Amino acid sequence: AGDGSGPAGSAAQGGGPPAPERVLFPPTFSVSEIKNKQRRHFMFLRWKQQQRKEKLAAKKKRRKEREALGDKAPPKPIPKTIENQRVYDETTVDPNDEEVAFDEATDEFAPYFNRQTVPKILITTSDRPRGRTVRFCEQLSTVIPNSHVYYRRGLALKRIIPQCIARDFTDLIVINEDRNIPNGLLLCHLPDGPTAHFRMSSVRLRKEIKRKGKEPTEHAPEVILNNFTTRLGHSIGRMFASLFPHDPQFIGRQVATFHNQRDYIFFRFHRYIFKSEKKVGIQELGPRFTLKLRSLQKGTFDSKFGEYEWIHKRREMDTSRRKFHL
């Protein structure tokens, strides 16, 4: 009887006089059981207010305790971020891993890292590129030294690739375009190297970047690769590194950054200046875009018979918000 009258009593107050300071809900009562929407809403708001008050009181108490303890207080707990909570990936590369080092010494990028080959890049687009894509290609070719832009005249990639190999190109970049905006990037390392297919988003051309500097010069930029932790990330990172000449020219003070965060690779191109040994100023020039890896295929581009090392499978890989693959 007491329980029955409790909810009825407190529900009857709904919408009427202001709520008392402390509302005591009987233990079996839950706000969602009230059928009347208005009253239920009112009770829910009141419950929420109460929760907030309790939380504030708890915070105050904690702060007082902390001040009271002074130096002996335990250190502040670290806030949880997605990067902190990331599901541990067993393919994370340990810097001292010998197996990884051995693999890297013998994979397709070894000739680049041993300085046997000089990178030479061919940049092209999909059929009939529109103005924006063309301009983006041009800007990209100023960013990457020793790169050439060629107009694609409806040629099949499988026929282009042997010709490129014959002319000593080391990498092929195809920018796919849809409705006037570039939205895909295919990066193919040429003498039978892996092919990576990315989805490209938020492309900003040079004129759309605010507070930008002058044009990038011809100097070879430095390369920064951030956060490529897993094996897959490592190989992609090496792929990017092999686009740029091995010896950056520090006179140019330009740096190209590939920063991986939660499986999105952000590309930026800056010019830096050291104001003192603890301060550096950077100024963004050059295009910027973000990439998301869709598939990595061994061997050159072959969508039908290629051997895929990694494909992004949405159903399996997008289930957890804390799991990243790069």
Q: HEC states along 148-167?
A: EECCCCCCCHHHHHHHHHHC
Q: Min. distance of Cβ 272 from another protein in angstroms?
A: 6
Cβ proximity to another protein: between 110 and 282 the closer is 282
Query: Measured in whole angstroms, how far is the alpha carbon of residue 242 from the centre of its chain?
Result: 20
Q: Is 44 in the site for another protein (CB under 8 A)?
A: no
Closest by Cα among 176, 125, 170 to 145 = 170
Tell me which of 15, 208, 250, 322 binds another protein, using CB under 8 A.
Answer: 250
In the chain, the largest separation of any two C-alpha atoms, in whole Å, equals 91
Q: Min. distance of Cβ 312 from another protein in angstroms?
A: 11
Show the beta-strand stretches assigned E in the chain: 121-125, 147-149, 171-178, 181-189, 195-204, 222-226, 254-261, 264-274, 280-284, 288-298, 307-311
Q: Is 276 in the site for another protein (CB under 8 A)?
A: yes
Q: Is 278 in the site for another protein (CB under 8 A)?
A: yes
Amino acid at 184: G
Stretch that binds another protein, among 27-35, 49-57, 190-198, 258-266 (CB under 8 A): 258-266
Measured distance CA(326)–CA(164) in Å, rounded = 29
Q: Is 82 in the site for another protein (CB under 8 A)?
A: yes
Q: Is 316 in the site for another protein (CB under 8 A)?
A: no
Q: Min. distance of Cβ 116 from another protein in angstroms?
A: 22
CA angle 60, 64, 66 (to 5 degrees): 115
Site string for another protein, 120-139 (x = CB under 8 A): ------xx------------
Q: Min. distance of Cβ 228 from another protein in angstroms?
A: 13
Cβ proximity to another protein: between 62 and 262 the closer is 262
Secondary structure (3-state) at 49: helix
φ, ψ at 188 (rounded to 5°): -125, 120
Stretch that binds another protein, among 93-101, 186-194, 208-216, 304-312 (CB under 8 A): 208-216
Tell me which of 2, 70, 79, 154 binds another protein, using CB under 8 A.
Answer: 154
Task: Find all residues with CB under 8 Å of 76, minimum gap 6, and list them.
Answer: none
How many CA atoms, within 13 angstroms, populate the side-chain half-sphere of residue 166?
Answer: 5
Cβ proximity to another protein: between 298 and 312 the closer is 312
Residues within the interface to another protein (CB under 8 A): 81-83, 126-127, 154, 156, 201-202, 211, 213-214, 222, 224, 226, 250-251, 253, 255, 257, 259, 261-264, 266, 268, 270-283, 290, 292, 314
